Chains A and B, each alone.
Chain A
Amino acid sequence: MKSRFLRKTRDVSESMYAGHNRALIDLAEKNGKIVCCYADFPPGQVGEVFQKQFPDRIIDVGIAEGHLISSAAGLADAGFIPFTHCHALFALGRGYNQIRHNVAYDHRNVKIVLCNSGVAWGGIGPSHLAIEDFAALRAIPNLVILSPSDAVSAGKATLAAADYAGPVIIRLPAVGAVYPTLYTNDLKFEIGKAICVHEGEDVAILATGIMVNDALMVAETLKKDGIRARVLDIHTIKPLDERAVLSAARETGAIVTVEDANILGGLGGAVAELTAEKCPVRMKRVGVKDVFGESGTSEEIKQCCELTPPFIQEAVQEVLKAKKGNVASKKRKTPRR
């Protein structure tokens, strides 16, 4: 059933980072345990507010992402709830062992914010464009991985992370980029519970992060052609909402996954793993096809990495065709004379 927290229009756009920062400030005003840590990364509004009000609760470790993660584990041991911030790819790359060993293995109450993740933010070039984060982090036990889709859900994800007793990853896109606000401010965000943003029984589009808005646009276009697409905002990559995914598989028989990440091992991988075992369906994964990103504008990169609505729509047509083919072959039980 479609969420009642959806805005009627998508006419307002905001940076997800702004939603996250507002939540951090809100938390810090009530809870002395909140500490924000950065690896020479711009803290935005948090910097201005914290320097004035809680100067001891904002720490910059310099360009040292491995140290960022391990020292956050130490802060957690001292009784705090640290939120770390740095480029997604460097938290992953230079901090992977630290995430696994200091945070996940010892089950520390650390919240790791992966900033500037995905390819679709342009400018900075392939060295900084993370496509591997979902795949690499899913394989670490004890981790919760959140991937919000707008400023409101980014804020709610931050609050939910603070409430959750254990390691949480929050994946955010480009700091400066703005995306349409999908939800109302009273959104009920539950870790591990996907949100239905468009109802339908013909096909299910399971999207995450910035791609949820694109998936919604595609669903609205398909409606005009008489195709009813269910769109789910999978804001929790791990633990996956198995109930929602399997319902989508059973009830629609055709799934398209959409993510600004490698199609290997991320959302697409997670959904394929589950459905292959429990409810095999026709599936198509839309995402970065195992290539590195590029410098360019956001629009250019999304186009060259095949992450735009036309590519999602093409994937939908493909699975629908395959689904029809399946049905047709099932009907033909007796051989043709």
Chain B
Amino acid sequence: MEASPTSKAFATDYKAKYGQEPDLYAAWSYDAVLVFAEGMKKAPALKPENIRKGILSIQKFQGAESELNFDQKGMERVAMSKEELMRDLQAKAMKLRRESLFVMKEMGMGWLGGSFSSADFVTALFFYRMRHDPKKPQWSERDRLIISKGHACEVFYAALAEAGYIPREELKTYSHCGSRLQTHVDCRTPGIDCSGGSLGLGLSFAVGAAIGAYISPDEENLKADVRHREARFRVYCILGDGECNEGQVWEAAANAFHYRLDNLTAIVDNNRFQSTGPVEKKMNMLSLGEKFRAFGWETREIDGNDLSEVIDTLDWALTVKGRPQAIIAHTIKGKGFPSLENTNCHFIKITDEILKTGLEALKG
């Protein structure tokens, strides 16, 4: 058994009561009761389904045997070490960039800059943070991911294929007539929660969904004031920095604070370029971090291409109570493609040369 303080305390108490060292079965039974009690604490009402949901949401619970993590399937995930996790996610982020290049090649042009700048936090969301099930894309309690900057869709399609929402072969259909993979994210694709393309709308959608997470449409007692319960799911919304020119982003920001939506995390892909040039020159919005802060959001500014920082910040977001969280991810446009990094590669032709150079840079 791991010698955590909890295990040591358990071993001491057990020996004092029963006169012998506890074995694994004793520790498991003890943890099972603790887990059940924790599920009861999390449940808004002491009904079987509520307790079950409470148990499934348990993360980083220190048991006598080990740290316990549950996922929506009820399986205990064995906690990876941070190093193993980083290696795994970094490999995935590279893979998403490579795959997204192939996706872009189908159309012969693509939003390379934004797909590459966001690949790291997209990886962290899909493969570390979000509660979701690729086999049940319509699962009502899934975490929502609103891709408000709906144009850099290539990296998302790569993520959907990697996660198992769509078969990898389907990536070849991108941008072709009749495809489920449209040139901006679209609800017809399993795994996409809100169609994109019209900038500035996604954060509002995310606010509506986040409010909805705090009420249950199946509430038996229709007359109850049910706001003070745990959110059924979290909502993540990815915005572009140029997108924050749109006024509606700020309508949504005001509402998110007003309604205390602590289950809402916005991630701004702050890669400093918008469609026709650098953000600062086109429409200088000064500090987006300060703006979100001024709207009452708990805000962090991070290196959005440092997976370790991304993971830590997504973990931090879970701990915030009573306010929405804004993560200003300072990223490099085209990150991972050295000759294009920090240039306005917002939407470029994908020639055979670009494909070759990109794949070279993203090897292993």
B251 close to A74 (CB less than 8 A)? no
B255 close to A106 (CB less than 8 A)? no
Of the candidates A70, A72, A82, the one having the most CB atoms from chain B within 10 angstroms of its own CB is A70
Q: How far is the CA of A105 from the CA of B205 in the complex (A)?
A: 14
Q: How far is the CA of A66 from the CA of B207 in the complex (A)?
A: 13
Q: Does B254 contact A (CB under 8 A)?
A: yes
Give A90 Cβ to nearest chain B Cβ, in Å.
13
- In the assembled complex, which residues on chain B have CB atoms less than 8 Å from the CB atom of A59? 211, 259
B contact residues, total (Cβ < 8 Å): 42
A71 close to B216 (CB less than 8 A)? no
- In the assembled complex, which residues on chain A have CB atoms less than 8 Å from the CB atom of B202? 70
Give B220 Cβ to nearest chain A Cβ, in Å.
8
Q: How far is the CA of A106 from the CA of B202 in the complex (A)?
A: 13
- In the assembled complex, which residues on chain B have CB atoms less than 8 Å from the CB atom of A101? 195, 197-198, 201
B255 close to A74 (CB less than 8 A)? no
Q: Does B187 contact A (CB under 8 A)?
A: yes
- In the assembled complex, which residues on chain B have CB atoms less than 8 Å from the CB atom of A32? 215-219, 222
**Knowing A62-B251, A106-B194 touch, does A54 contact B223 (C-beta < 8 A)?**
yes
Q: Which of A55, A67, A80, A98 contacts B227 (CB 8 A)?
A: A55
What interface size band does chain A fall in?
A: 35 or more
- In the assembled complex, which residues on chain A have CB atoms less than 8 Å from the CB atom of B187? 106
B222 close to A29 (CB less than 8 A)? yes
A97 close to B205 (CB less than 8 A)? no
Give A124 Cβ to nearest chain B Cβ, in Å.
23
Q: How far is the CA of A57 from the CA of B222 in the complex (A)?
A: 10
Give A24 Cβ to nearest chain B Cβ, in Å.
13
Q: How far is the CA of A62 from the CA of B226 in the complex (A)?
A: 22
Interface residues of A in 47-73 (CB under 8 A from B): 53-57, 59, 61-62, 64, 66-67, 69-73
Give B13 Cβ to nearest chain A Cβ, in Å.
43
**Knowing A55-B225, A62-B251 touch, does A78 contact B195 (C-beta < 8 A)?**
no
Q: Which of B146, B193, B195, B222 contacts A54 (CB 8 A)?
A: B222
Q: How far is the CA of A74 from the CA of B212 in the complex (A)?
A: 8
Q: Does B12 contact A (CB under 8 A)?
A: no
- In the assembled complex, which residues on chain A have CB atoms less than 8 Å from the CB atom of B204? 66-67, 69-71, 74, 98
Give A304 Cβ to nearest chain B Cβ, in Å.
35
B201 close to A98 (CB less than 8 A)? yes
Give B23 Cβ to nearest chain A Cβ, in Å.
46
20 sample A-B contacts, Cβ–Cβ < 8 Å, listed by A number? A29-B222, A32-B216, A33-B217, A54-B222, A56-B214, A64-B251, A64-B254, A67-B248, A70-B201, A70-B208, A70-B252, A71-B252, A74-B212, A75-B211, A75-B212, A77-B144, A77-B193, A78-B232, A82-B208, A101-B197
The 7 closest A-B pairs by CB, nearest first: A78-B212, A74-B208, A71-B208, A70-B204, A64-B251, A67-B251, A74-B209
Q: Give the A-binding residues of B (Cβ under 8 A).
A: 140, 144, 146, 187, 193-195, 197-198, 200-202, 204-219, 222-223, 225-227, 232, 247-248, 251-252, 254-255, 258-259
